[in-house]
Structure 1
């Protein structure tokens, strides 16, 4: 592939004029820098050479016309010159440029046929004794330019196809990444609805009970109770209507209901359930969960559980179900740190081959952490893989 790229750069279509100028300079050098004892170029030789040098530059945008013209000059040179090398190189090179640039192979065959007819016509003096040598020479001065031109043209097409595929892959990855982020945000929205709606419904219920149980004579207090109850009821209805815009029953995760029901005080038990679920897949998990996670707010508690579930799923997926994973959840100064590391089990994919950020699981985890103003790191750790996330204190994040 490196050789193909090198050929593509050498014969880039944008550098056609520069290549032809270098070709002319080499031809002038051949005429001027003659070896000692060699006769100087004749007037007709100079005339045909300069005509070829000039027209090959003027006609470089018309490769088919240029190839036919240089072939005609070659025919004149063969007829009147003892050394038609300059015009022979010009005709062969023009055929090469035509083959590289045209998409109509018929034009190449016409130009190559005309070149072969002119060349072989000048070789008939020695036939039939020299017919084999003449045919070999024709293959050299005509076949090789055509073959090289085909190779260059194909390499250009392969390069263009590779660029198109790369661009398509890039766009596909961007689309999938955006879809993963959107799905994760929708999941967060559903979970926030479940948490907030739970508390709002609880407040509305308690205010409703207070309205009927408390014997309050002051109508202003009753009015406040009625207003709070009505406002809470409207807020709860609005929450339900808004979440309907995001809720996709087909896209809800199997564990969504269980997650939405997690209360802050029961988070340690929910984490143990997530670890047990991972162990049932064959994964060996060592867990160290700080009891202080039971005091986290509901929103961050949901995030901790989601991050733990996703990280353990990634270990089972990439390191293999027989790998050993270590889960550590700590609370320090209000900040929550979640770390899941594995030992890179030999039965799974080596750590170096795992996606370093392109996987949708990591995209969703990163999206979830960024909502809280935290950070997430995922990368190789020894023979295994480590995912670390930090959710800052709710007050500091605000």
Structure 2
């Protein structure tokens, strides 16, 4: 509600500034109407209500733009006050406009302008006392204290606004840096994924070469074996082609140092991964459900890496006495992974700023899947991922 109110005030700032001047305008109107005429300082001439109303308008109207043009508004009001003094019109209640304008300068302009406005206001007080008071020095401190109090209030508001603006700028800069770090982490993760997919494709191509050579040797002596080898070449080639498309999409870093091509970990290595985590001191309950379908090597690598990253986060942030559970549910067209722990959950400090979760989303999103990671109600953390397999992916 307050946010909408502030937004409305920003959109209609001119209307708000005009309405804020209503008390001062009413004060000028009432003081003018209270007397049919107004004597000058010498008592010789008399000024009618029309002149006083015009004077009040000239003092109040410039204040409408005191936020956008505070120095100009103050200069106009001060000039009108000087003309009022020069023609001999005594001080009116609406002359408080000069203090409102001085406050606007102090609250929205640098200190040198605020000091200049205060000096002008003090000169006006002095000139007014010269004509109306026999003892200027004794009567000057009272109005001066009032002026200084308003001036200090404006300076405080100015400093407060600058402090808030610096905080907002710092927060925006921190947000930009955070987004940049997230993009860097995503790019680094894509590079690592590309390298792994490169190895997967290279392994599939190696299998195709071996199978094709076997089919060539067996085509005359064992046609059935040659047929099975050719079918294996076809199946492996389709998988390699799919992985190659993803590899091109991820944009592998060509300048990265290459290594020996080897098959990446997959579903068969999950048990070894769980044993390694248990050896590190984290109790893990590992269950699988459903008949295991034929899962391409690239998606097996995604499953392995998600479980590995989730358990690594549990080791880092779960706290003492934490335990974890890993569930792999095989469906007809997808695989659902659930990695949960009973550790600190939302209270745990994520030292990597969520870069591991970014990597999970990059991997799963590449195959059209989804991943959700969040603290569990009552404590702990849960990572749930769904990965389509086969033609669905």
Fold in common (TM above 0.5): yes
Q: Which runs of 5+ in 1 are unaligned?
A: none
Task: Give yes or no for the alignment of 1:135 onto 2:141.
Answer: yes
Do 1:288 and 1:327's aligned partners in 2 also have CA atoms closer than 8 Å? Answer: yes
Do 2:27 and 2:93's aligned partners in 1 also have CA atoms closer than 8 Å? Answer: no
* Structure 1 residues 83 and 116: alpha-carbon distance in aligned structure 2, compared to 1, 3 A threshold: closer
Q: Take 1:154 and 1:109, find their aligned partners in 2: how far apart are those partners?
A: 15
The answer for the alignment partner of 2:44 in structure 1 is none
The answer for the alignment partner of 2:114 in structure 1 is 108
Do 2:203 and 2:263's aligned partners in 1 also have CA atoms closer than 8 Å? Answer: no
Task: Give yes or no for the alignment of 1:86 onto 2:94.
Answer: yes
Q: Take 1:34 and 1:68, find their aligned partners in 2: how far apart are those partners?
A: 24
The answer for the alignment partner of 1:392 in structure 2 is 388
Tell me the TM-score normalized by structure 1.
0.72
Deviation at 1:154? Answer: 3.1
Q: Take 1:102 and 1:12, find their aligned partners in 2: how far apart are those partners?
A: 19
Deviation at 1:170? Answer: 3.3
Task: Give yes or no for the alignment of 1:52 onto 2:59.
Answer: yes
The answer for the alignment partner of 1:373 in structure 2 is 368
The answer for the alignment partner of 2:316 in structure 1 is 317
The answer for the alignment partner of 1:63 in structure 2 is 70
The answer for the alignment partner of 1:120 in structure 2 is 126
The answer for the alignment partner of 1:277 in structure 2 is 276
- Secondary structure of the 1:394 match is coil
Deviation at 1:113? Answer: 0.8
Q: 2:197 aligns with which of 177, 192, 215?
A: 192
Q: 2:183 aligns with which of 168, 175, 178?
A: 178
Do 2:31 and 2:93's aligned partners in 1 also have CA atoms closer than 8 Å? Answer: no
* Structure 1 residues 189 and 69: alpha-carbon distance in aligned structure 2, compared to 1, 3 A threshold: closer
Deviation at 1:192? Answer: 2.3
Deviation at 1:98? Answer: 1.9
Per-residue CA deviation, residues 82-141 of structure 1 (Å, 9 max, x unaligned), is 553211x111111122223333x323222211211221343463647845xx32431322
The answer for the alignment partner of 2:23 in structure 1 is 26
Q: Take 1:389 and 1:258, find their aligned partners in 2: how far apart are those partners?
A: 28
Q: Take 1:164 and 1:146, find their aligned partners in 2: how far apart are those partners?
A: 27
Do 2:338 and 2:383's aligned partners in 1 also have CA atoms closer than 8 Å? Answer: yes
Per-residue CA deviation, residues 175-227 of structure 1 (Å, 9 max, x unaligned), is 333333333333332222222222321332343466568779xxxx9xxx9xx
Deviation at 1:341? Answer: 0.8
Task: Give yes or no for the alignment of 1:330 onto 2:329.
Answer: yes
Do 1:186 and 1:247's aligned partners in 2 also have CA atoms closer than 8 Å? Answer: no
* Structure 1 residues 120 and 312: alpha-carbon distance in aligned structure 2, compared to 1, 3 A threshold: same
Q: Take 1:45 and 1:257, find their aligned partners in 2: how far apart are those partners?
A: 95
Do 1:281 and 1:321's aligned partners in 2 also have CA atoms closer than 8 Å? Answer: no
* Structure 1 residues 332 and 147: alpha-carbon distance in aligned structure 2, compared to 1, 3 A threshold: same
Alignment coverage as a number of residue pairs:
356
Deviation at 1:337? Answer: 1.7
* Structure 1 residues 363 and 375: alpha-carbon distance in aligned structure 2, compared to 1, 3 A threshold: same
- Secondary structure of the 1:274 match is helix
Q: Take 1:112 and 1:318, find their aligned partners in 2: how far apart are those partners?
A: 59
The answer for the alignment partner of 1:96 in structure 2 is 103
Do 2:197 and 2:298's aligned partners in 1 also have CA atoms closer than 8 Å? Answer: yes
Q: Take 1:86 and 1:10, find their aligned partners in 2: how far apart are those partners?
A: 29
Root mean square deviation, CA, Å: 4.4
Do 2:199 and 2:261's aligned partners in 1 also have CA atoms closer than 8 Å? Answer: no
Q: Take 2:118 and 2:9, find their aligned partners in 1: how far apart are those partners?
A: 20
Deviation at 1:259? Answer: 8.8
Per-residue CA deviation, residues 30-88 of structure 1 (Å, 9 max, x unaligned), is 1444699x64563364343233234555898653343244234435656845553211x
Do 2:203 and 2:262's aligned partners in 1 also have CA atoms closer than 8 Å? Answer: no
Q: Take 1:258 and 1:313, find their aligned partners in 2: how far apart are those partners?
A: 26
Q: Which runs of 5+ in 2 are unaligned?
A: 39-47
